[in-house]
Amino acid sequence: MKMSNYYLWITGLFIGLISCSSPKSKQHEVELDQSEQNSHQIQVNSLSDTEDFYTWTNDRIPMVSAHRGGPYPGYPENAIETFSNVLKFTPAIIELDVAMTKDSVLVLMHDDDLSRTTTGTGKVNEVTYEYIQSLFLEDNDGNLTDFKVPTLEEALIWSKGKALLTVDIKRSVPYEKVIEAVRKTKSEAQAALISYSFEAAKKLNRMAPELMLSVTIRNEEEIGRLEETGIPWNRVIAFTGVAERSVEFNRAIHDKGVFTILGTLGNLDKSAEARGDEMYISFVQKGADILATDRPIEAAKAIQTLAPKTSSKSKYFTHVD
- Rounded to 5°, the CA angle 226-217-220 comes to 75
Give the mean model confidence (pLDDT) for residues 252-268: 99
- Three-state SS for 60? coil
Q: Domains in the chain and their CATH numbers?
A: 2-101+162-316 (3.20.20.190)
Element of type H or E holding 203? helix 198-207
User: Percentage of the chain with pLDDT > 70?
Assistant: 88
Whole-number Cα distances in Å, 81 to 21, 62, 106, 165, 186: 17, 24, 18, 15, 22
Average pLDDT over residues 197-210: 99
Residue 278 main-chain phi, psi, to 5 deg: -60, -20
What average pLDDT does range 190-216 have in this prediction?
99
φ, ψ of residue 43 to 5 degrees: the values are -120, 115
pTM to 2 decimal places:
0.90
Model confidence at 60: pLDDT above 80:
yes
Smallest CA-to-CA distance from 193 within 177, 304, 80, 255 is with 177
Mean predicted lDDT score pLDDT of the chain: 92
The pLDDT, as a whole number, for residue 266 is 96
Looking at residue 12, its pLDDT comes to 54
pLDDT > 70? residue 34:
no
Q: What is the pLDDT at residue 37?
A: 65
Secondary structure of residue 208 in the 3-state scheme: coil
Q: Per-residue b/e over 292-314, b at no fewer than 16 CB within 10 Å?
A: bbbbbbbbbbbbbeebbeebebb
Task: Flag whether pLDDT at 278 surpasses 90.
Answer: yes
197 in helix, strand or coil?
coil
The rounded distance, in Å, linking the Cα atoms of 17 and 207 is: 42
**Letter string b/e over residues 53-66, b meaning 16 or more CB atoms within 10 A of that residue's CB:** bbbbeeebbbbbbb
At residue 197, the pLDDT reads 98
